[in-house]
Chain A
């Protein structure tokens, strides 16, 4: 069974870049599959961030597109996100997840990491 684990700095200063990795085990990221990111501000609901395909193709939330970069590294069996110019509004638990669906739309998220709380504060 696939397992995912987020890793990265837990505290980021305003205007800096938030960087997170998602380490995958039990599945090869370079298999034909999409991988996703979702975030959840403390006490609030879920917000989709984006998906990345094993080829490096991405779908990104338009509200984050100007600040977001996603990548995938098959040699490390991981995928990553970088969110630039962060503010307090980017404080959230960030989840990575395996994503599945078909060509008719986007993807549901069937296996999730435990999440990583990232706080933006000086």
Chain B
């Protein structure tokens, strides 16, 4: 199985500041012929289901604010929230769907 390692486990950021979450996979998620990274990011608020925010490593889902961006390729990926808002407090998960799907352990984002 591909192991997904997220860091940090938790993150406290001031309102309006940048939040950066990292996700590292134990194998490349870049499909050689499709030239796409099979990685998604989800946001989960307490008591709610996860919400898809990024697919294909960097494609923002419709309706997701522009302050969310995904980057990276191969084995190293980043989710960036450019200017943290109060409603962004949540747990964020990365998810590889290149082979037998696995999730990262989650990163809790809080307000400093």
Contacts A45-B105, A47-B103 hold; do A109 and B31 have CB atoms under 8 A apart? no
| Chain B: minimal CB distance from A84 (Å) | 21
**Nearest-CB residue, chain A, relative to B106:** A45
Bound: A48/B42 CA distance, A: 14
Instruction: Annotate A38-71 by CB proximity to B: 1 below 8 A, 0 otherwise.
Output: 1000000111100000000000011000000000
| Chain A: minimal CB distance from B94 (Å) | 10
Name the segment of A12-20, A21-29, A72-80, A111-119 touching the other chain: A111-119
For chain A, which range describes its interface: under 10, 10 to 19, 20 to 34, or 35 or more residues? 20 to 34
Chain B contact residues: over half helix, strand or loop, or mixed? loop
Bound: A61/B100 CA distance, A: 7
Contacts A45-B106, A46-B103 hold; do A106 and B97 have CB atoms under 8 A apart? yes
The answer to whether B77 has its CB under 8 Å from any CB of chain A is no
Set of chain A residues within 8 Å of B106, measured between Cβ atoms: 45-46
**Nearest-CB residue, chain B, relative to A112:** B49
| Chain A: minimal CB distance from B100 (Å) | 7
| Chain B: minimal CB distance from A9 (Å) | 20
Bound: A104/B33 CA distance, A: 9
